[in-house]
Structure formats: C-alpha cells, structure tokens
Structure 1
Amino acid sequence: MQPKKSTAWKSIRNIFDQIHLYAGLISGLVVIAVCLSGTVYVYNTEIREFMDSELYFVEETGPRMTADELRSSLEQSAESKVVGLMWNEESDRSVQFTLKKEGEEGRGTTYYVNPYSAEILGNTSDRTQTAEFMGYMFSLHRWLLLDQIEEPILESMGNRDLGRFINGVATLLFLLGVITGIVIWVPNKVKSWKQGLKVKWSANWKRVNHDLHNTLAFYSLIFLFIMGATGPFWSYSWYREGWQKTWDTYQESPGPRGGNAEGPRRGGAKPEIADTEASVPMLSLEDVFAKTNAELPYEGNIRVSIPSKASDPVSVSKYRTGFFARAGADQLTLSSTDLSVTEANLFSDLPFRQQIGRSVKSLHVGDIFGQFSKFLWFVACLIATSLPITGTLIWWNKRKKKPAKKKPIARQVAEMA
C-alpha cells in the first residue's frame, strides 16, 4: 500500500508543481512591477515626510496657537471657510486645514500650517517632486502606469480599467502560487524541516537560488497570502462584494427614493427646505477636541469634518499613534448645537469579522499594527519581488539539465567481465 500512496502523491504533487510553475511564469513580470512599487509604497507617508520635511515638520517657537485662532487667521487670509482639519499634539509637527471657497466644487484644498505662527507651509495642490514620484509608484502598483497613456489601448475599456484588470489577474495567479507553494513545501519538507528553513550558502549558486526561493517564501508565507488575498479587492467589483459579504461589511447601494422610476433628480431647483436651512453656528474646535478626548481617552490624531448646515452633525475620527498603533479609526458623530454624542462607532466594539472586513486597506499596505507591521510587510514585499526571479531561474536551470549519457555497450561488457 505504501508504494501506491507514494506514487499517488507524486502524481498530485506534479500537478501542483505545474500549476505553481505556470502561475508564476505567466504573472512574473507584472508581480515584479506590482510588488516592487508596493515595497516603496509601504513607506509612502514616511518618504513624503522625509523628502518634503518642510511641509510636515516645524520648529517649536513658543506656545502653539489654538485651533480656533488658526482657523480665524486662515479664513481671513485665504478668504475661504475651513471645512475640515487634521490635528495632532506633537510639538514638532504641522497641522492640516482644509479650506473651501463658497460655491467651490470638490473637497477643497488642504493646507499645511505652522501651529506656532499660522504660516501656510504649502498645500496639496502644489505637486512636489516627491508627490509626483509617489504618484507614479501608486499608478504602477494599481494600474501598471497604463492610466498615464492618453490614447485608449482597447476600445472596450479605458486604460485604467485595463491596468486594473491585468493587475487583478496577476494577483490572483500570485495567490494561487502561494497556495500551491504551501501544498508543495509542507509534505516535501516535513521530514527534513530544519533543512527547509535555512539557506545552504556554501553550495553552488543554483542550490543557493533554490533555497532562497523556498526558504524566504516560507518565512513570509502569511504576509504573502494576506497581500494576495486583499489585492483583488480594488480590481474586481465581484471580489470586493464577496469580501464584504464574507466579513459581514456589505451594504446595499441606496436606491432611488420615492416612487419616481427615473430616480432622484439631479440639478434643477433644490427642495424648499434647503433654501431655509440655517448656516452652522461657529463651533469651537477646542471644545470638539475636548469632547473627543473625553470620549476617547488615548493619544492620537483627530480629524474633524465641519458641517455646512446647522442640521448636519460634526463628524470626528480619532487615529491611534505609536509604534504598535492598531489601525482602525474610532468615529464620533456630535450634535452641531451642543456637541453631544449622537452616535459612536468604535472599532473595538465591532465583531472580529467586521474588524477584518473594514481593515482591508491596512491589511494590504501593512499598517495594521503601526510601524511594527509596516516593517514586516516591507520585508515581505521585497521577498515577493524576488520570488518570480528566483522561481524562473529554478525552472530555467532544470530545462538546461541534459540526460546522462549512456556508456558504450563495449565498455559495459568489459566492466561486467
């Protein structure tokens, strides 16, 4: 019975070997581009802050101005209204205010502000060289730079959709390679597991390359799986919907209200209630911070969205900071009249399934546990970039092997004599 089991496993393993091989060969070039850009983009924030430090860091020159004082100064100088801000208490950091002119479309412009002098250090509309570079890295990672091509490549879809589709196919093949790699590695290495967890540096380069492919992939296995499983979320709507339903975060898109089959009207006259809507009273940002910190008593950065109507609430999000800071913001909805809490959505209160479902971006980019997990994802991305290269070399070296030459018959007879 044992030989039959061994033969059956060899046949099964051969199938998985072929799937693993061709999934890697087909997706190799795309995986290298996506993983290399992903390796860089893991530290997107840190790279921007280092290269454009004048926007993010300031010199401490006395007491900081309050958020209300900064808002008043900015609104006078920019002749716009503050509609949101990102605030932190670190003494050497700038703060960010989003301003919008009356009647302006879009989200407005975000300004980097020195909290000691109210000096505007720059804004998001000014594209620095670092921002341009990181924009290209994001484009390469998400759309393979196809969105940079003006002329459509295919008539059936736009270049961005084409890049997203190719990216998704390559990511699914990469995920398939990870899964088949597990099946191949575990039964093959279980008896000699110590040898499978190290690289024999004293061997020839072919053996070293083989060990690097197998060993590094094993050590980064869980991270590679997470990156591969979350990647298609941004490529395919069916995958995104499946993810949301799996982790209980799916919400139906709101349909048209009322009995009008044509749906809600766009443009034209607004309902009368909008004409009589009172403007929002001048809220004290310091009071908003105090209320938020009382409800969420931990260190973190606070983002505030200021409503434009008196009936609309104030939206507040607080993000934890620190080396092991957990991803997932806590959100509060405050009444714009008395700042009472009308709704609290705390990340820790969510069921575990929903915490995973809502952390898809953090799981993909690696900031699920702050700088600690970022470093692990950075290393895993480097390994992922190398796997198509080392895997292709393994395949190529096997192709170059020549069958052993048979000894001449005369020599065989002589040896037997």
Structure 2
Amino acid sequence: MASKQRKTTTWMKVRKFMNDIHLWGGLISGLVVFIVCLTGTIYTYNTEIRAWAQPRYHHVKVEGEKQSPDQLLAKVKTEVKGKIVGIKVPFAADVPTNILYTKKEEGKPEGKPTAARGEGKPSESKGVKESDQAKPKGGSPEVAKGPAGKPGPAAGGPGGGRGPRANQLAVNPYSGQVIGDPSDEKTKIADFMQKMFGLHRWLLLNEIEEPIFEGIENRKLGSLITGTATLLFLLGVITGFVIWFPNKMRSWKNGLNIRWTANWKRLNHDLHNTLGFYSCIILFFMSVTGPFWSFEWYRAGWQKTWGTYKAPDAPKEEKAKLESIVPAGDAKPLTVEETILAVNKLLPYDGDITINFAKDSTGTISVSKNRVGFFAPSAGDKLTLDQYSGEPLEKEIFREKPFNERASASIKALHIGDIYGPFSKLLYFISCLIATSLPVTGVMIWINKMKKTNKK
C-alpha cells in the first residue's frame, strides 16, 4: 500500500512564499548589505573613535577647582579668531569647556549664526534632503564636535536665520588654557571614518568625478543602490521572522539555541537562524529607517505616517518673534553662571548645557540641555530665555511632545542607535555585527541546499 502523501497546509504555502522572497532578496542584495552593515558596525562608534584619535580635545586632567564660564570667556576672548556666539558647559568634570564661535572669512562679513538645534542630536533630525547638506568631497558633511566627540550645536538664537555652523574652541576649565579647535586638525582616523561613511551611504561613488550614467549624479546613484538593498534587507528581516516560527511548538527550542558541537553546516544554519531572531527587532529599526536618506517618496511617506509632513511649497508658519524686555536703568544681561542657574531650575537634572548668546539688546538666549548617563536619551530639551531676567519665553521639552512628533524626530537616532545613549549603541553595535554575518551564513545555507539537490 502506497504511503500517504504529506498534506500541504496554508501555513506551509505561506512559509514557502516567504522563503522565496527571503532567499532571492538576500541573494540580490547580499554584497551591498554586507558592505553597508560592515561599515555601519564601524560607524556606530564614530564619535568615540574620533575622540580617541584626538584625546586632548575631549578629556582634561582634574586639577583643583573649575574656573567659572565667565572667567574662561574673559581669558580666551582675545584668542578667538572670530565672533563668540555661545558656550558649552559639560556636566562631566574631566571634559573641556567649549567656546562657540563663527570664523570670519577674509574679505567677507561675518555670517549670521545658525539657529540653535538642540546640540545637533540625531534625535532632532528633520530629514534634511541630501542636496541641502554640505557635501565635502569624499565623505559626510562634517560637523563641529563637542565633548566626547558629540556633534556641536549651531550658534545663535531664535530668529537668527541660516548661516554657518559654529566652531568650537576647547578650553581647559581648570587652567584656562586654550586647547584648540579640533576641526583645524586633520587625522588619519577622521579620514578613515569619513571613508566609512561614504562607503556606507554611497558605496564611495561620490568620489568618482565622471558620471557613471548620464543624467544621474554618482552620489545619488550610490544612495539609490544602498537604499534599494536596505529595502530588500527589510523584507528579509520580516520574512525571516515569519520563517523562523516552527510548524510544531515543541520545535521552538531548536530556533533559540546554537548547537556549537554540531557539524559546520548545522552550526552555520543556527548562527543565521538564531542570531537573526535575537537581533530582528533592532535590525528592523535599522532597515526601516535606512531608506529615509535615499528616497524622497520614502521620506515623505514616513512623515505622513506620523502626521508631520509639510509640502515643500507649503507656506511657512510665521511665529511671533520672541524678544527680551530691556529693563530701565543700568540692568545688565545675565552672566553665564546666572543663566546656568536659571536653566537648572527649569530643567533640574544632570546634563550638558549649551548656551547661545543673544545677538543684540532685544535678542533672547537659546539654551539646550542633554541628559548624561549610560541610559541617557539622546533627545535634548530646549529653552528660550529673556537675557535680562532669565524668564522662560519658550520651552520645548522632548518628553512632553506628542508621540508622533517624537517618533518622526527620532529617525536618525533610531537608525544609528544612540536613542538611549551608550546602552542602545552597544545593542546596535552587536546587532549590526550580526547583520554583517547574515549575508555570509545565508549564502552558505543556499549553497549547501543546492549541493544537496544536485546529489539527489
């Protein structure tokens, strides 16, 4: 009597369909995904690596009492080659104080400082188009670095208009000695990290001057390739999650463990299957946010999903200009120390404080404060203060924003992993390392299956 044939269930058909998408999407995008994930793994600790290469700009020896920010400003005023527009006061005792200034170009009047952007944190990213960013040859837009290599804030206050981003002059808060501007010093590490970014975003096509295809910029071509590969990887993450679920409940344990003593084929399968499952949530966030910088339609769709989309030709909302009330008599603007006291009263937590000075007698003080700590969120809080009284004219507390605005503004933090500081960065680093291995282990699984089929 002939044995009964195994019945094909709907779930088996779904798994077969998902498996085909997973397989061919992975084979098509595998090489690009490997490059993007490898460079992304390295770039996760970009700021820390750059700081390691320039330690004197990011760490100082704790010696005695700190000088007040006002004393430091008075000492370095004559050494600043430009206009002082603000100051960054770190919470950590072993980090330099940074004087924010705009360089004066020869033969040109000083540009207006750019409006403050909450320390330039990734979580505040609004999805600026690639064409609107500074594009130095051979890499990413360079941003002035603050303590611990974090991006520095732009200078100026509300209503300051668009202009050059502020440079930062590191100063020893104990001795008052000027350390220097890290952007004036070029290092091989900085060049290497710039290459990693160019490889991650554009596959280094941005460094080829002659167009590869007529009518499309090489930078754009590279962005489209990496964006498409990331979309295929996103499909791979989703389909892989579905495929992981076994037919029988008792088989779940097999998908949660790696059998290190098994033969290399089984070990390779477990590494792909199990590590992919444990990292799938973070890999989903990485891949679902990646195409944001490659496709306009994707960027617009993301913003529409969260209800924050604004058409390019839509008229801008005009806000009432905030101004300080000039008091009668000889009242003077707040000192930096007095400003810090006012900020800490309004935002009573430990954090780095960035102060952008008022531009004129009626201007306001723009302040951003970012929490510190292993689990510290990257998103900062912003204040606009009256320069004479210290009264808050406007408050922008990230936690108090509607969820849709927070989600939309956190696009970059979700992609690079610093949404919760060093803690989430570590998780992203491990997950990105796993993602780098997935194309390799996946191809090995496919080759083994092909060999088995040919033998049959």
- Structure-1-length-normalised TM-score: 0.85
Q: 2:191 aligns with which of 105, 108, 132?
A: 132
Partner of 2:19 in structure 1? 17
Contact kept in structure 2, 1:327 and 1:370, CA below 8 Å:
yes
Q: 1:65 aligns with which of 60, 64, 67?
A: 67
149 and 74 in structure 1: CA distance in 2 versus 1, 3 angstrom threshold: farther
**CA displacement 1:321-361 (0-9 Å, x = unmatched):** 00111221111111234332111010111122322222111
130 and 223 in structure 1: CA distance in 2 versus 1, 3 angstrom threshold: same
355 and 311 in structure 1: CA distance in 2 versus 1, 3 angstrom threshold: same
Separation of aligned partners in 2, 1:348 and 1:175? 29
State the AA in 2 paired with 1:26.
I
My pick for the range that moved more, 386-395 or 199-208, is: 199-208
Separation of aligned partners in 2, 1:72 and 1:171? 51
Partner of 2:327 in structure 1? none
Q: 2:274 aligns with which of 204, 215, 218?
A: 215
249 and 314 in structure 1: CA distance in 2 versus 1, 3 angstrom threshold: farther
State the AA in 2 paired with 1:104.
E
79 and 392 in structure 1: CA distance in 2 versus 1, 3 angstrom threshold: closer
Contact kept in structure 1, 2:374 and 2:423, CA below 8 Å:
yes
Q: 2:218 aligns with which of 159, 165, 180?
A: 159
How far did 1:100 drift?
Answer: 1.8
1:177 maps to 2:247: no
Partner of 1:141 in structure 2? 200
How far did 1:282 drift?
Answer: 5.8
My pick for the range that moved more, 45-54 or 208-217, is: 45-54
How far did 1:76 drift?
Answer: 1.1
My pick for the range that moved more, 332-341 or 305-314, is: 305-314
Contact kept in structure 2, 1:189 and 1:196, CA below 8 Å:
no
State the AA in 2 paired with 1:43.
Y
State the AA in 1 paired with 2:304.
K
Separation of aligned partners in 2, 1:399 and 1:4? 23
Contact kept in structure 2, 1:327 and 1:359, CA below 8 Å:
no
Contact kept in structure 1, 2:60 and 2:96, CA below 8 Å:
yes
Equivalent position SS for 2:40: helix
Equivalent position SS for 1:224: helix
How far did 1:223 drift?
Answer: 0.6
Contact kept in structure 2, 1:109 and 1:125, CA below 8 Å:
no
State the AA in 2 paired with 1:174.
F
Partner of 2:138 in structure 1? none
Structure with bigger RCO (C-alpha 8 Å, 6+ apart): 2
Contact kept in structure 1, 2:39 and 2:197, CA below 8 Å:
yes
Partner of 1:412 in structure 2? none
How many residue pairs get aligned? The number is 382
Q: 1:114 aligns with which of 162, 166, 172?
A: 172
My pick for the range that moved more, 165-174 or 60-69, is: 60-69
Q: How does 1:371-410 map to 2 (within 5 A)?
A: 371-403=422-454
Separation of aligned partners in 1, 2:405 and 2:287? 20
CA RMSD of aligned residues (A): 2.4
Q: How does 1:171-250 map to 2 (within 5 A)?
A: 171-188=230-247, 190-250=249-309
3 and 307 in structure 1: CA distance in 2 versus 1, 3 angstrom threshold: farther
How far did 1:253 drift?
Answer: 4.4
Equivalent position SS for 2:231: helix
Question: Which runs of 5 or more structure 1 residues have no equivalent in the other structure?
Answer: 258-280, 406-417
Contact kept in structure 1, 2:53 and 2:187, CA below 8 Å:
no
Separation of aligned partners in 2, 1:25 and 1:312? 58
Greater share of residues in helix: 1
Contact kept in structure 2, 1:114 and 1:120, CA below 8 Å:
yes
How far did 1:365 drift?
Answer: 1.2
Question: Which runs of 5 or more structure 2 residues have no equivalent in the other structure?
Answer: 112-163, 317-331
Contact kept in structure 2, 1:75 and 1:81, CA below 8 Å:
no
Q: 1:360 aligns with which of 397, 411, 423?
A: 411
State the AA in 2 paired with 1:72.
A
101 and 384 in structure 1: CA distance in 2 versus 1, 3 angstrom threshold: closer
- Structure number, greater radius of gyration: 1
Equivalent position SS for 1:331: strand
